[in-house]
C-alpha cells in the first residue's frame, strides 16, 4: 500500500490530522480544526510548501471540518484512515479494522475514557460519511501496554473490582513508547533489550520495555496516575479524596477538576503549566517554579528507578515529548538523581540535543546503560500500524 494514510485524532471540538506517505522522508500535510461547533471554528495547517494557513469555518461540525480538510490534501488521495483512540480496554492488543463490532466495543468501554472515546466515535462516524469506502483503522493508546503482566496491571483491590468492572492499570501514550523504544533498538548497538522510556509532554508517562514489549508503565486506569504533568497531579495518596471531601466538603467533580486541571507544574509553581516558563522563572529565582522543577524531575527519576525492577537488564533510558526532547535541564536533573545506574551523560551533547534532534548523549567509549533523546512520532506510528492492519486483512 503506497498511497498516503490520513491520521485523525478527534476531540470533542477538534480534529488533528496528518497525511503521511509510505516514504517517511516525504513531507506531511498536517493541521488542526478547532473550536468546532462554535462561531470561531477554524482550520489551521501547513501546505506542502511549508506555508501556514488559517481558514475560518464558522459553526462547522466534525463532518464539515473533514470536508475542509479533504480540500487541503492537495489532491493526494489517502488509501486508509488511522484514528487515534485513547482507550481500548482489554479488548484491543493491536490496531483494529473498524467495523460495527469494533465500534460497539469502543462504545462499551466509554466509561473508562468518558472525555475521549465518545469524541473519537463521533469522529469515526463523520469520517465514514465524508470518506465512504476507505478502510478505517482504530489505533489505541492502551494497546501497547496489554503485554503488562498481572503483577504490574493489577491494583491491590478486591478481585471483583477487576473481574466485574475491569478496574486495573492500562497505561497510555502507547504509540509513543512503542515508537521510541523500537527506534532505539534500531539506532543503538544494543538492539531491542531493556529500555526505560520517559514521554514528557503536557501529559507525562514512563514505561519499561523488554524486547519491544511493555512490561510496566506509570499511568494506570486513567492518565492521571504516575508522574507530575502540566496540570495533572500524578500520584497522590488514595486517601486524599476522602480527606478533601470530609474536611473541605469538596464534591467528586471538584476533586477531579483540581487533580486534573489545577495541579502538576501549574499547581506547584502557582504560575504556569508550560515547562519553558517554569524553567525561566526557576532560573530567575521564583521559588514555586524551582519547587515545581524539583518535584517534576525527582518523580521522573523515582519512577524510572521503580520501573527498572520490570527489566532483566537495563540498556538505556530514552527521553521524548516536548520536554524530553527540548529540556537539557530536566534530562540533567533526572540523570543526576540516578547515580547508581551507571549512566555517563556528556553535558555538551545534552545541551546540543534539542529541537527534533535524535541522538545518544553518552561520553564516547562508555559501556554502561545509554541515554538517548528520540523525538516521538505518534502520527507516523499510527500510519504505520494502519498500513499494517489494512495489508494483513
Ligand atoms: P503534548 O503532550 O500536548 O503533545 P508536547 O509534547 O508538545 O505536548 O510538550 C509540551 C511541553 O513541552 C510544554 O510543557 C512545553 O513547555 C515543553 N517544551 C517545549 N519546548 C521546550 C523547551 N525548549 N524547553 C523546555 N520545555 C519545552
Give the residue extent of every domain in the chain: 5-140, 189-378
CATH number of the domain located at residue range(s) 189-378 in this protein: 3.30.420.40
Residue (of 172, 133, 19) closest to 82 by Cα position: 19
Q: What is the pLDDT of residue 2?
A: 78
Closest residue (by CA) to atom 23 of ligand 1? 326
CATH superfamily of 5-140: ATPase, nucleotide binding domain (3.30.420.40)
Helix (H, G, I), strand (E, B) or coil at 219: coil
Ligand 1 mean position, distance from CA 296 (Å): 14
Q: What is the pLDDT of residue 171?
A: 98
Q: What is the pLDDT of residue 68?
A: 96
Ligand 1 mean position, distance from CA 322 (Å): 3
Strand partners, 373: 319, 359
Which residues in the chain show pLDDT less than 70? none
Which DSSP category does 78 fall into?
P
| Cα–Cα distance, 7 to 349 (Å, whole number) | 33
Q: Which residues are catalytic?
A: 141
b/e map 87-97, b = 16+ CB within 10 Å = bbbebbeebbe
DSSP characters for 157-181? S-HHHHHTT--S-----HHHHHHHH
Q: What is the pLDDT of residue 218?
A: 98
**Do the domains at 5-140 and 189-378 have one common CATH topology?**
yes
Point out the ligand 1 atom lying closest to the alpha carbon of residue 279: 25
Closest residue (by CA) to atom 3 of ligand 1? 202
Q: How many CB atoms lie within 10 A of CB 328?
A: 18
| Cα–Cα distance, 75 to 325 (Å, whole number) | 34
Closest residue (by CA) to atom 4 of ligand 1? 201
Phi, psi of 195 (to 5 degrees): -120, 140
Reading the block at residue 391, the C-alpha cell is 495489508
Amino acid at each position: 500500500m503506497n498511497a498516503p494514510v490520513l491520521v485523525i485524532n478527534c476531540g470533542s471540538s477538534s480534529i488533528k490530522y496528518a497525511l503521511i506517505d509510505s516514504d517517511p522522508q516525504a513531507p506531511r500535510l498536517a493541521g488542526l480544526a478547532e473550536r468546532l461547533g462554535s462561531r470561531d471554528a477554524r482550520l489551521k495547517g501547513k501546505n506542502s510548501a511549508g506555508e501556514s494557513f488559517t481558514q475560518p469555518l464558522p459553526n462547522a461540525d466534525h463532518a464539515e471540518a473533514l470536508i475542509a480538510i479533504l480540500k487541503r490534501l492537495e489532491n493526494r488521495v489517502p488509501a486508509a484512515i488511522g484514528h487515534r483512540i485513547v482507550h481500548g480496554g482489554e479488548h484491543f492488543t493491536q490496531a483494529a479494522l473498524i467495523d460495527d463490532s469494533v465500534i460497539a466495543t469502543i462504545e462499551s468501554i466509554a466509561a473508562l475514557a468518558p472525555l475521549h472515546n465518545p469524541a473519537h466515535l463521533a469522529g469515526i462516524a463523520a469520517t465514514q460519511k465524508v470518506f465512504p469506502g476507505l478502510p478505517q483503522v482504530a489505533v489505541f493508546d492502551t494497546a501497547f501496554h496489554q503485554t503488562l503482566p498481572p503483577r504490574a496491571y493489577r491494583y491491590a483491590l478486591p478481585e471483583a473490582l477487576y473481574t466485574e468492572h475491569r478496574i486495573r492499570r492500562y497505561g497510555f501514550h502507547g504509540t509513543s513508547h512503542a515508537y521510541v523504544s523500537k527506534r532505539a533498538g534500531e539506532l543503538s548497538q544494543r538492539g531491542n533489550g531493556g529500555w526505560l522510556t520517559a514521554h514528557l509532554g503536557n501529559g507525562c508517562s514512563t514505561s519499561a520495555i523488554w524486547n519491544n514489549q511493555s512490561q510496566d508503565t506509570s499511568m494506570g486506569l486513567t492518565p492521571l496516575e504516575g508522574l507530575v504533568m502540566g496540570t495533572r497531579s500524578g500520584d497522590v495518596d488514595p486517601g486524599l479524596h476522602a480527606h478533601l471531601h470530609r474536611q473541605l466538603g469538596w464534591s467528586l467533580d471538584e476533586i477531579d477538576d483540581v487533580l486534573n486541571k489545577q495541579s502538576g507544574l501549574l499547581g506547584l509553581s502557582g504560575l504556569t503549566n508550560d515547562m519553558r516558563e517554569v524553567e525561566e522563572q526557576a532560573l530567575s529565582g521564583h521559588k514555586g517554579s524551582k519547587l515545581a522543577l524539583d518535584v517534576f524531575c525527582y518523580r521522573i527519576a523515582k519512577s524510572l528507578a521503580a520501573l527498572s525492577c520490570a527489566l532483566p537488564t537495563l540498556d538505556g533510558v530514552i527521553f521524548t515529548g516536548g520536554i524530553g526532547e527540548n529540556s537539557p535541564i530536566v534530562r540533567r536533573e533526572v540523570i543526576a538523581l540516578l547515580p547508581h545506574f551507571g549512566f555517563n551523560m556528556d553535558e555538551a551533547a545534552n545541551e546540543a540535543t534539542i529541537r527534533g534532534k535524535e541522538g545518544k548523549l553518552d561520553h564516547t567509549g562508555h559501556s554502561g546503560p545509554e541515554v538517548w533523546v528520540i523525538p516521538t512520532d505518534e502520527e507516523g506510528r499510527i500510519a504505520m500500524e494502519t498500513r499494517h492492519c489494512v495489508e494483513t486483512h
